[in-house]
A and B are shown apart, each in its own frame.
Chain A
Amino acid sequence: MKKISSNRFSILIYSFIIIWVFLASFPFFWTFWGSFKVELDFFSISDWYNAVTGKNTFDTYNSQFTGAGYEGAWVQEEFWRSFVNSAIVCFFVVLTSLTIGTLGAYALSRSNYKYTFWLLITALIFRAMPPITLVAGYLPPFFEWNIWGILPTTIIVLVSINQPFTLWMLHSFFQNIPKELDESAKVDGCSQFQAFRHVIIPVMWPGVVTTGLFSFLLAYNDFAVTAMLLSDENRTMIPKIAAFLGTTYTEGNVMFAVAAVVSATVPLFILVMFFQKKIVSGLTQGAVKG
């Protein structure tokens, strides 16, 4: 009796997951498939079925698939430059965010004075600022100091405006970790920093890696900041992709954008695989006790 119900239960769980995975990934597969078609097929205004069969692609290239979008984006438009820029920005944003964020969040979670609460609340309110307004405010001083348009400026800005999020996220994870852990380390003669470094961080891996993933995604997907603060030769991928889309005056090349989006997801695939391992290994290594 019990066996049957648990079987049913897992069938329920698996079908739930399958539905979710389908919903989550279908648009992506659709895009991946469509990225090898011409625009008229991908957006198939006459009939959506064209996107599946590639009717117009066949008429143009004599084949149902074409790499024209990829060639255009990577070769003609030198998308790799933006790719390198994005890699630099993301790497330094994640590194800096996590370094200063873990220090700050750890302190906030281990201090009981009133000001810690108010600091957290202030950080939260800071986050309420719409980034577009912030960026508009940065422009005059950045031009004044001649630091507009370069990657380091953008990195610092991205780190700063995402700091409230990073702090809160890490703070929530730190709260899950019992205080006794670092207290006992301190009794053993560690300084606060040593306790943090050798006792807390190893346990914190799932939290740190998850936060890192979000810092990464925020930097990677950012448009508001990068579009306004980077000169065109320093553009990261997202503003570059937006530039493929065209404006009122001119035709864009949507298929370049689609191909660029698909190819930009490849490194993310690797990243998430790595991330997933870390998150599970945190479970086995971590000395979490209730």
Chain B
Amino acid sequence: MKHKTFFWFILPTFLAMLIFIFLPLISIFLQSIHTPHENVLMTVENCDPFGCKKVTSIDHDAINDLKKTEPLGKFVGLDIYFDRGHLAIENVKMLWKKDNNFFQFIKALSDLPFYKAIFFTLTFTFTVTPIMLVLGFLIALSVNTISKKLRGIIIFFSLLPMIVTPLIGSIILFWMIDSRGIIGNLIQWLLSDPDLSLKASTSLTWIMLIVYGVWHAIPFSFIVFYAGLQTVPKDQLESAKIDGANKFEEVIYIIIPHLMPLITFVALMQLMDNFRVFEPIVGFSAEAHATSLSWIIFNDLGGETRQLSAAATSSILTIIGVIILLSPVLLRTWKDFKFKK
């Protein structure tokens, strides 16, 4: 394709991403290396319906000039990246010196908010992604073999986990797995442990979040693979049959190679989405047991005093995390790309 044609084809989507993603990205990066100016505090008397009291307040006159000349705040370089709320370099060094047992070191590390979040996020990402890929693929293959009349209704039901709004879907499931809910009761009955509560234990909460993650994500891989299966060339399949290939060989040698771009696509998107896991944690009120990077950002932005620089830093770290996570897949794509040329 000629450069000029390419340019006109790509322009609208490029502009949209430039304005609404790239520019905010720059401003978020700038925010992550600046903090608000040091506040000048003063003691004042405040009164409310319940009486008067001497308290501390910010002296705005003292810092207004500074705010005007340097609206971004104080430049701090990578300080926020290294503070306790993020990479916690100091604490990690200290722990490394103190604990000579590696297992203990990891345990102590998971007490720091960032590492706690990372441990859960990675576990979630590396369990949910492969499971949903395999299950989605199997379901797509199965649905593709059954009678066409049935397919519509089955596709509809298969899409439900994705259609039902995560916000509400997780609340409903949250009640179903309550120790008195239907699933909670079923599990208690299966394990014959009447006091078992999925919500009170950290490991069970993790499993629950992972199961929900898989359940919610299967429709995505299923429907993409199903649509992809529709484009598998028939003559190839037929010639394979003539050559005496069984169903299993058909899948391995024809279908999977044909679907490879889609498999890469689903894997990329899922790795990324799972790395940014957020909604299930809020929906299942799992903050006590599991947090993620996105949850930390949400928490920093949601408090009574919004910690913008901290949230910006966590966002940049998330992006770096995603890049590291995806690099093997990206490398593969790069090779494919060069090969294609």
Contact = CB atoms under 8 A, between A and B. Distances in A.
A129 B326 CA distance: 14
A51 interface: yes
Interface in A228-285: 238, 241-242, 245, 254, 257-258, 261, 264-265, 268-269, 272-273, 275-277, 279-280, 282-283
Contacts of B323: 125, 128
B165 A167 contact: no
Given A17-B139, A132-B301, A210 B22 contact: no
Contact of B231 (A107, A167, A176, A254): A176
For the residues of A in contact with B, the DSSP-based class is helix
A130 B301 contact: no
For the residues of B in contact with A, the DSSP-based class is helix
A72 interface: no
A117 B185 CA distance: 52
Interface string B17-29: 1011110110110
A168 B269 contact: yes
Interface string B206-225: 00000000010011100110
B265 A133 contact: no
Contact of B227 (A42, A156, A279): A279
Contact of A276 (B12, B28, B155): B155
B158 interface: yes
Contact of B16 (A100, A223, A257, A276): A100
Contacts of B227: 173, 206-207, 209-210, 279, 282
A24 B16 contact: no
B160 A107 contact: no
Given A108-B10, A112-B341, A165-B269, A129 B180 contact: no
A13 interface: yes
Given A44-B181, A130-B297, A288-B233, A163 B17 contact: yes
B204 interface: no
A189 interface: no
Contact of B161 (A24, A124, A171): A24
B236 interface: yes
Contacts of B159: 272
| Max chain A Cβ within 10 angstroms of own Cβ: one of B233, B268, B315 | B315
A282 B230 contact: yes
A272 to B, nearest CB: 5
B164 A28 contact: yes
A20 B215 CA distance: 10
Contacts of B34: none
B6 A111 contact: yes
Interface stretch (A63-71, A75-83, A134-142, A144-152): A134-142
B182 interface: yes
A249 B291 CA distance: 25
Interface residues on B, range: 35 or more
Interface in B176-232: 176, 178, 180-182, 184-185, 215, 218-220, 223-224, 226-228, 230-231
A126 B17 contact: yes
A221 interface: yes
Interface string B119-151: 000000000000000010011001101101001
A103 B13 contact: yes
Nearest to B322: A128
B318 A213 contact: no
B21 A21 contact: no
Contacts of B158: 20-21, 24
A48 B185 contact: yes
A169 B5 CA distance: 21
Interface string A156-169: 11011101111111
Nearest to B26: A137
A20 to B, nearest CB: 6
Contacts of A124: 268, 272, 326, 330
A283 B2 CA distance: 31
A173 B262 contact: yes
Contacts of A132: 278, 294, 297-298, 301, 311
Given A128-B318, A129-B24, A163-B17, 13 more contacts: A13-B142, A20-B139, A103-B10, A104-B12, A124-B272, A130-B297, A165-B269, A192-B2, A206-B230, A210-B223, A245-B171, A276-B156, A288-B231
18 contacts: A14-B146, A24-B215, A27-B164, A51-B182, A100-B12, A124-B268, A129-B319, A130-B278, A130-B297, A130-B318, A133-B315, A164-B17, A173-B262, A176-B258, A221-B166, A261-B168, A264-B165, A290-B235
